[in-house]
Structure 1
Amino acid sequence: MNQKGKKGQGAIQNVDNHFEKISYVQTFYEDEILDEFGNRVEDKSPTEYLEVFPKSILNIIPRKDMPTEYSMNPYQGCEHGCAYCYARPTHEYWGYSAGIDFERKIMVKMSAPKLVEELFLKRNFQPHPFMLSGNTDCYQPIERKLELTRQILQLCLDYRHPVEIITKNALILRDLDILIPLAEKNLVKVAISIPTINEELRKKLEPRTSTISNKLKAIEVLAQNKVPVMAMIAPIIPGLNSEEILAIMKRVSELGAEDYGYTLVRLNDTVEPVFKNWLEVHFPERASKILNQIRSIHGGKFNERMAKKRYVGQGNFAQMIHQTFKIGERKYFPNGIQPRILATHLFNGSKGQQLSLF
C-alpha cells in the first residue's frame, strides 16, 4: 500500500491510549485542502470543539527545567498537527488518542477569561508571570473565532499582570494593540516557534501552523513595535532540521529577535508511535537513520525523563548541536543573551475592579 499522509494533518493514525484496556486504530490518508491558518476548504473528518468546565485555569509546573513556574492553556489538543508535540499524551487523560484525536478533538475552556479575572481578584493573590501555551498553542486556528487568548491578554493589561507567550501562529499580530502597551510596561515577552525555515518541511512537520514567511514577519513586526520577541528553534531533530540551526539564527537575529531557545527532540510516551508513523510516510528513505540519531542523543532511548539530562543529551551528535548554537550565538547574538525579567510590582487588583464597573 502506498501510504500518503493527509494534507494538513500531522498524525497518520490514532494510536493506543495506554490508559485504556481496549485499543483501536484508525488510519487516515484522504486528501484535503487547507489555507495557511488551518481552515479547511474541503474535509471529510472535521475537527470537533468540545467545551470543558475547569474549576481553575492556572497550572503549577513542578519541573525546574521549565523557564516558568506557571502556565495557562485556553485549549487542550491542538489543530496545528505537529507530529513531534510533547503534549500529545496529555490527551489520553481525557480518554482520547494522542494521534488523530489530539488534532481533531479540541477541548475549549470558554470560561478561561472569567477564571483569570477571578484569580486576579483574590484577596491574597500574588502576581507571577505565567506562560500562555505551556501545553498547547493559544493561537491555534479556533482562536481566530473565539478570542479567548485575546481576552486573557486584555485582562493582563487591565490588571497590569505579566504574561509570556509561545506560539507557532502569526495570528498573534491581531493582538498587537494589546501587546504594545503590555510591552511598554515590561509585562510581556513572546516566543515564536521556528524549528525550520524550509517551507516544504514546515508543511509536513507542522502542517497547520502559519507559513515560514508569516512567522518571520511576526518576529519582525513585534520587534519593530518593541515587543520583546525571541525565536524558539525547537525541537532539533537530528537528520531533519539540525542542519538549519545557523541559518535560522542568522535570519531571526536580522529581523530583531533579542533571544533564542532550543530543545532536543524527545519522543515521550505515545509521541513515539505517532512520530514514527509520520516519519515512515513522509521520509521513508531517511526514517531509520533519523530514529537512530534520536536514540543516540538520549543514550539509546527515544525519550529522557530526567530533567537535568533532557536538554543536554548524550553523545557526539548532541554535543555537535550545542556547539553549533554556541557558534551561532557568537556570530548572530554577539551582545550575549540577557534573561528578561518581567515586572510584577505593577499589578493592581483594585484598578481591575474599577474597570469592571464600566
Structure 2
Amino acid sequence: MTTELESKASAAREQLDAHTREMVQWHFSPETGSPFWLEKAKTYDFNPLTDVSCFDDLKKFPLFEDDWLRGGPVRRWVPKGLEGKPTYVFETGGTTGIPKTRVVIDDFRIDYEMFSDTLPDEYFPEGADWLMLGPSGPRRLRLAVEHLAQHRGGISFCVDLDPRWVVKLLKKGKVEEVKLYSEHVIDQAMSLLSAGHDIKCMFTTPKLLEALAMRLLDEGSSISEAGIKGIFCGGTEFTPQWYRFAREELLGDDVYITPTYGNTLMGLACGKPFTAEDNYKITYHAPQPRAAVEVVEFDDHKKLVKYGETGRVKLYTLTKELFIPGFLERDEGEREMPHEKYPWDGVSGVRPYHIFAKTTTVGVY
C-alpha cells in the first residue's frame, strides 16, 4: 500500500473501533439494548459493556447463529432505544421451513442512500424512474430499491416475483415451469418498459437481465433502445466472465452496470471500480463502519487468510437496529487489499461456499 492509502486505512480502522464501542454500549445497555441481547449477555463469561474496546474484541462473542432469526416473537430484536418507531419485518430464505426474519426501522433507507452516493448521475439521472426487476413480497429489496428511486427523485415500478416458488420448481426438476414463470416476470417488465413511463434505471439479477435482453432482442430492440441507461445488479452469478458477456452481448457501450453484494443482514457492499489491469476482477467492500466483512480460514473463523488467499466470508453488522458480532456466510472468496475509495479489506470472487455449493439451488439470483 502507498503511504497515503496506509493512512486512510488506519483512519478507517480507528473509525471502526470507535463505532464498535458505540454499538456495543447501545445494544448491551439496559436502557437502549434489545431484549434478545440483554438476555444473551447473561450467558457470556465476559461483560460486553466493559470488555469490548475495539473491533477485534468482537471475537470474544460466539458466532451468531442464523437459527436465532427463525420464528418469533420478532419484537425481542427491537432495541429499547427504538421502541415505538414504525417497524418493518424483512424475510430471507424460507423455501423450506420457517424463514429468517429481521426487524428494520431505517437501516434499509440509510444503506441505499449511502449506495446512491456511489452512482454516477450521467447514467442514473436525478428524477429518472426505476424498474425493480427482482424479488417482491417480504424481501428487503422491494422497499429498498423503491426508496433508492425516491431518494433520487424518481418512482419505482415493480414486478411481482416470488423467488421461493422458482426454487421449489427447480428442486422438483420442473425446468419448463421455471421457464414459463421467468417469461411471466419478463412479460411484466416488457409491459412497464412499453407503457410510456420515464424508466431509465434498473435493479435486476444476472439471470433476469439476460432474459430481458434476449426478449428485447427477439422483438428487434435492446436494453439501450428501451431507454435504460444505468443498471445495478446483484447476485453471486455476477462474475468477470458474465460481466464481459453482458457488456459485449447484452448492453453495449452506452449502458452502465455496477455489481453489488449484499443481503438482508448486512446491507449493500459496493464494487471496486473495474480496471483492465486486474482483468475486471469484481471486488466488494462492505459499508464500513455500519458493516464489516472478513475472509477467514475455513477451519478457524478467528483467523484472517492472507491477501489473495481463499477463505469463508464472515459478516459483522453494527447498526443501532441490528448487532451481529460475527456470522459465517454461505459464501467464500479471496481477501483483497484496501482501496483508495474504500480503505479497508474487500472480498473478490464471491461464490457459494464449496461445502454447500452442491446442495445450493440458485433461482432468480
Please indicate, yes or no, whether the TM-score normalized by the shorter chain is above 0.5.
no
Greater relative contact order structure (CA < 8 Å, 6+ sep): 1
Higher strand share: 2
